[in-house]
A and B are shown apart, each in its own frame.
Chain A
């Protein structure tokens, strides 16, 4: 657990955080944007803001919320101290493509946000959709970074047997990325709706909140559009709650959501140097 707290962020965001924090006149919203497009930075800032040191009466659910409560300079210096750890290795022994993973996370987040907009989710709640999409697969980078060789076996097993990656992870680690992400999230006092997304985004056999179903659907749509790489060879069905609203046809859903590719391209700015 302590090791995970020392996990470095993606190189592009580390580079930009260092650049921004050395400019005293940097625009706060630029830093917020960098943090909320990097799963590692985002998790750490949420962890900080929800830590027992503050014991806030409500959970901090966004980077902006953290900035308002603990102040911009504290968030900025936290981001800088995470940047000082170093950069995440993009090529690990697992063979897992970390850059592809970042794209997968960003596309899931962006599609989830488009769902929220389309469903007219109230402004405050709508930001949970992007955040949950970005963090839903957090457990995978933990595996890839800390257990690369075992994770490689899981990736190969899933591909060769044609089984979902989380099932292969369970075979190898006795735990899957959904559980790893949610255990960390629970330990770090993250908001319960985010924990639910992390924990049950592959569990279609239970009734799930709309947010979880949206992230689950966004995950599949991103795969269908071949944006990024999450390492899972198996497509899952779009949850009933979503097909009930948008129909079962992925192309139809994408059409209803608006300019999906354009929005994802905008988010990709945060994934490329």
Chain B
């Protein structure tokens, strides 16, 4: 299994000299299985670079799984060139929107309407199939299995576990660890704690001993109190999840849009002091555009 980061930035593309090393494109992760199956997680602006690579190996067959449909995870899709070329096949997966009661096909189709994009969805030449996923659904792609699990974000967000030939990777999508909305002296506090514990246990159980854990770490713990409820995680929470799940390696992504490369380096140094890599904490790194992990 080969994992490549094509976009690691959160919220909005952030090009420029301050982000040139880690990269300014929004979320896109490519996973190529040992058998050559192509799985793409999210279609932020990073997918444009991936598209250029794929043009050299036409026809393309790939599966795109959307963690959720906020702009920074879908805005590269209309520019995913294989869409426009006959004989390519794209299988698209994502969550149902319970508020507007729309399928993933309807939600994504909107950004290709006349006002937003010159080519209509109906005019795309590739063969495109949409599947709206439910919680804990497993899709088989060749010998790989992709399983969805609901995470916590201000829209339905799936984390995806990809397993193939005994290797595994889990991507949280955008995710803020659950917190109790009640005070300890409120009636509902204990109930809420139990519900959170159940949900967390289900996640840890699903991703136990995962080889690669990729987490949303938009904020430092110092920044977090002001951003609570925005739907993103911290570096510390990522390390805590990796430890609980016995993950073998950890990558931080969804870098905050104003975070410079130097700041990311400083954060990593600080984490190294507090969480020394060893028996207690697995190796961890900051996801970088172009970084390839081979399993």
Contact = CB atoms under 8 A, between A and B. Distances in A.
Interface string B192-235: 10111001000000000000000000000000000001010000
B105 to A, nearest CB: 14
Contact of A29 (B182, B194, B196, B231): B182
Given A68-B195, A124-B194, A55 B136 contact: yes
B150 interface: yes
B188 A64 contact: yes
Nearest to B183: A29
Interface residues of A, number: 29
A71 B152 contact: yes
A243 to B, nearest CB: 28
B178 A68 contact: yes
A71 B188 contact: no
B181 A32 contact: yes
B186 A64 contact: no
A67 B194 CA distance: 13
A74 interface: yes
Contact of A64 (B132, B150, B192): B192
A139 to B, nearest CB: 25
Contacts of A71: 150, 152-157, 231
Contacts of B132: 53
A240 to B, nearest CB: 30
B153 A124 contact: no
A28 interface: yes
B134 interface: yes
A197 B195 CA distance: 24
Secondary structure class of chain B's binding surface, majority of residues: loop
A209 to B, nearest CB: 20
A75 B104 CA distance: 19
Nearest to B134: A55
A51 interface: yes
Interface string A1-43: 0000000000000000000000000011100100000000000
Interface in B130-173: 132, 134-137, 150, 152-157
B191 interface: yes
B195 A65 contact: yes
A124 B192 CA distance: 9
Contacts of B134: 52-55
B99 A54 contact: no
B190 A67 contact: no
A62 interface: yes
15 contacts: A32-B181, A52-B134, A53-B96, A55-B135, A55-B136, A64-B191, A64-B195, A68-B199, A69-B150, A71-B152, A71-B155, A71-B157, A71-B231, A74-B155, A77-B99
Given A56-B135, A127-B188, 4 more contacts: A51-B98, A53-B134, A55-B134, A73-B153
Interface of A: 27-29, 32, 48, 51-57, 62, 64-65, 67-74, 77-78, 81, 123-124, 127
